[in-house]
Amino acid sequence: MTGFKEKRKEKLESKVRELVHPTLEPPSPADIMDLSKSIDYSALRGKTALITGAAGGLGRGMALEWAKNGATIVIADLNEKAGKETVEELKKISGSDSHTFVNCNVVSWDAQVAMFKQAINASPNGGIDIVVANAGIGESDKEAFSLDGPQEPKKPNLLTLDVDLNALVYTSHLAYWAFGQANKNAGSPRTGTLLLLGSVASLTNTPETPLYGAAKHGVLGLFRSLRTPHLFTETNRNKSKDGKTNVKVNLLCPYFTDTNIIRDESGKKALPDFVQLSKIEKVIEAATRLVTDEKGGKALVIMPESLAKGRGKGGIWELERLQAKL
């Protein structure tokens, strides 16, 4: 009897472990990303990618790389001048006129709905294949959390959370909508790829920028939940009920990289000199690996090699070698 009870308890415990900590299962070697493999650029050909915040920085880098390899790019940004200039550059390097700019402040739900509709209309293949929730800003309120504040409490400026987290949630929600809608009339199943911009700040403390750290930890939480099928029912939001759409959700976690986000209004680097920077090319390589990889649920961290301490390859390493069951 005792043996039976013990066995039942063990079974229940293992079920709870599996339900509550599905990501703690040991990875199967087939699930680990092979970072020495060359990138399959052909996977970009004919695809349409909507990238928020792509008028500059990392988003612009992805746009250039992917357009060079046959993708159509929709750049969404509130910086109209830089956005339009980037589109002209995309046209030149790709020899294609299909790239477009959409003026959008991602904080606004209505503006994001319009952005997605414009992107679908502009897409030569009638749908969106890749969405990168990339638009982001640095710390919006450097005076928050102070013991030496004014006599009357001052409401903190939470724009960092609005842009880096809430707007990214809108973009992700609309990406699922767009992937599902575009495929309703499609003949064969199609896969949509959602790439979320996290950061090393998703993984570690950032005492100088607590709002940024909170937003980026939120992005990690969203990624972990979206990539995993439901725990208590047979639901998997990454497969549509009609079997026509699959979704891959991935996360990119760069370390400090030399873009405008680490610079002040005058363009001066707002970090001490001893802080090493990641190479933009490495961040773009990691993003390209993620959007061209056949599997979803992957997270890559990009750091200067000296800080990566031998992890991964060339300063890129897989955060959790743990594949959500898709």
Q: Which residues make up the interface to ligand NAD (CB under 6 A)?
A: 52-53, 55-59, 77-79, 104-107, 134-137, 163-164, 197, 199, 254, 256-257, 259-262
Q: Name which of 57 and 297 has its Cβ closer to ligand NAD.
A: 57
Cβ atoms within 10 Å, residue 301: 25
- Shortest reach from residue 286's CB to ligand NAD, in Å: 11
- Shortest reach from residue 257's CB to ligand NAD, in Å: 4
Q: Name which of 135 and 244 has its Cβ closer to ligand NAD.
A: 135
Task: From residue 215, give the alpha-carbon distance in Å to each of 95, 137, 168, 228, 264.
Answer: 38, 10, 10, 21, 20
Q: In what order do the strands lie in the sheet with 100-103?
A: 100-103, 72-77, 48-52, 130-133, 190-197, 245-254, 299-302, 316-318
- Shortest reach from residue 277's CB to ligand NAD, in Å: 7
- Shortest reach from residue 175's CB to ligand NAD, in Å: 15
| 193 CB-side CA count, 13 A | 25
Q: Name which of 43 and 54 has its Cβ closer to ligand NAD.
A: 54
Question: What is the number of the residue whose Cβ is closest to ligand NAD?
Answer: 57
- Shortest reach from residue 157's CB to ligand NAD, in Å: 14
Q: Name which of 106 and 182 has its Cβ closer to ligand NAD.
A: 106
Q: Name which of 23 and 79 has its Cβ closer to ligand NAD.
A: 79
Q: Name which of 158 and 261 has its Cβ closer to ligand NAD.
A: 261
Helix H segments across the chain? Answer: 2-20, 57-68, 80-94, 109-122, 159-161, 167-183, 210-227, 280-292, 305-308
**What are the backbone dihedrals phi and psi of residue 203, each rounded to the nearest 5 degrees, phi first?**
-115, -20
Is residue 252 a contact partner of residue 192, using CB atoms and an 8 Å limit?
no
- Shortest reach from residue 99's CB to ligand NAD, in Å: 16
How far apart CA 207 and CA 204 sit, in angstroms, is 10
